[in-house]
Structure 1
Amino acid sequence: MADKLGNENTSWVEKVFFFFFLFLFSVRMIIADQDTVIGHSHKLEVDRLLKKLNKPAAKSIKSPDEDIIDCVSILNQPPFNHPKLKNHKIKMRPNFQPQDNILEVSNEISSKSKPIVQLWHQSGSCPEGTLPIRRTREEDILRASSMQQFGKKNLKNVVLPLTPNGGGQGGYGCASVFIKGNKYYGGKGAMNVWNPNVEQSQEYSLSATWVGSDADRENIEVIEAGWQSDSSKNTGCYDLLCSGFVQVYSAVALGSSIMPLSLYNDTNSQYQITITIWKDKGNGGWWMRYGTDQIVGYWPSSLFPSLSDSATVIEWGGEVGNSGTNGQHTTTQMGSGHFAGKS
Structure 2
Amino acid sequence: MEKRVSMLLLLILLCTLSNGVYGKSKARIPRFEINRRLKLLNKSAVKTIKSEDGDIIDCVDIYKQPAFDHPALKNHTIQMQPSFIPAVETSNGKLENSRPVVSQLWKRRGSCPKGTIPIRRIRRQDLLRANSLDEFGRKSPEHFERTNKTANQDRIMHLNNTNGPILSPTPENRSTAILLTYGFNFIGASGEINVWNPHVEKPPEFSTAQIWLKNGEVDSFESVEAGWIVSFSLYADTRTRFFIYWTADGYKNTGCFDLTCYAFVQTSKEITIGGALEPGSSTHQQQYVLPLNIFMDPSTSNWWLMYHNITVGYWPGSLFYLLKHSATSVEWGGQVYSFNVRKSPHTKTAMGSGYNAEQLYGLACFIGHPRILDYSKSYKYPTFVGIWKDEYNCYSAINYKEGNGNSEPLFFFGGPGQSPRCP
- Cα deviation for residue 259 of structure 1 reads 0.1
- Cα deviation for residue 63 of structure 1 reads 0.2
1:145-294 aligned at under 5 Å gives the runs 145-156=131-142, 166=168, 168-214=170-216, 219-231=220-232, 233-234=234-235, 237-266=256-285, 269-291=286-308, 293-294=309-310
* Residue number in structure 2 paired with 1:297: 313
CA distance, structure 2, for counterparts of residue 118 and residue 95 of structure 1: 27
Residue 78 to residue 203, structure 1, CA distance change in 2 (3 Å): same
CA contact (8 A) 2:104 2:276 kept: yes
Find the residue that maps to 1:120 and give its secondary structure: helix
State the one-letter code of the partner of 2:46.
Answer: A
- Of 330, 341, 348 in structure 2, the residue corresponding to residue 331 of structure 1 is 348
State the one-letter code of the partner of 2:109.
Answer: S
CA distance, structure 1, for counterparts of residue 357 and residue 172 of structure 2: 25
State the one-letter code of the partner of 1:246.
Answer: V
* Residue number in structure 2 paired with 1:58: 46
- Of 31, 34, 37 in structure 2, the residue corresponding to residue 46 of structure 1 is 34
* Residue number in structure 2 paired with 1:21: none
Residue 82 to residue 166, structure 1, CA distance change in 2 (3 Å): farther
* Residue number in structure 1 paired with 2:9: none
1:27-176 aligned at under 5 Å gives the runs 42-101=30-89, 111=97, 113-156=99-142, 166=168, 168-176=170-178
CA contact (8 A) 2:56 2:120 kept: yes
Whichever of the two has the greater Rg, that structure is 2
CA contact (8 A) 1:207 1:319 kept: yes
CA contact (8 A) 2:46 2:60 kept: yes
Find the residue that maps to 2:88 and give its secondary structure: coil
State the one-letter code of the partner of 2:176.
Answer: C
CA contact (8 A) 1:156 1:167 kept: no
- Cα deviation for residue 234 of structure 1 reads 4.4
Residue 118 to residue 84, structure 1, CA distance change in 2 (3 Å): same
- Cα distance per residue 1:202-256 (max 9 Å; x no partner): 2110011101111x67742111011100135449821111321111011100001
In structure 1, list runs of 5 or more residues that go unmatched.
1-35
CA contact (8 A) 1:96 1:282 kept: no
- Cα deviation for residue 323 of structure 1 reads 3.2
Identity level (%): 40
Q: Which has the higher contact order (CA 8 A, sep 6+)?
A: 1
CA contact (8 A) 1:53 1:78 kept: yes
State the one-letter code of the partner of 2:273.
Answer: L
- Cα distance per residue 1:20-39 (max 9 Å; x no partner): xxxxxxxxxxxxxxxx9986
- Cα distance per residue 1:86-121 (max 9 Å; x no partner): 1000000111221134679xx9xx758223111000
CA contact (8 A) 1:187 1:211 kept: yes
Q: TM-score, length-normalised on structure 1?
A: 0.79
CA distance, structure 2, for counterparts of residue 92 and residue 55 of structure 1: 20
Residue 103 to residue 230, structure 1, CA distance change in 2 (3 Å): farther
CA contact (8 A) 1:198 1:331 kept: yes
Residue 157 to residue 53, structure 1, CA distance change in 2 (3 Å): farther
State the one-letter code of the partner of 1:286.
Answer: W
CA contact (8 A) 2:264 2:313 kept: yes
State the one-letter code of the partner of 2:283.
Answer: Y
CA distance, structure 1, for counterparts of residue 49 and residue 284 of structure 2: 35
Residue 336 to residue 184, structure 1, CA distance change in 2 (3 Å): same
Residue 84 to residue 103, structure 1, CA distance change in 2 (3 Å): farther
* Residue number in structure 1 paired with 2:322: 306
CA contact (8 A) 1:323 1:329 kept: no
- Between 1:190-199 and 1:218-227, the stretch displaced more is 218-227
CA distance, structure 1, for counterparts of residue 205 and residue 97 of structure 2: 34
Find the residue that maps to 2:67 and give its secondary structure: helix
CA contact (8 A) 1:79 1:241 kept: no
CA contact (8 A) 1:157 1:167 kept: no
CA distance, structure 2, for counterparts of residue 167 and residue 140 of structure 1: 33
Q: TM-score, length-normalised on structure 2?
A: 0.65
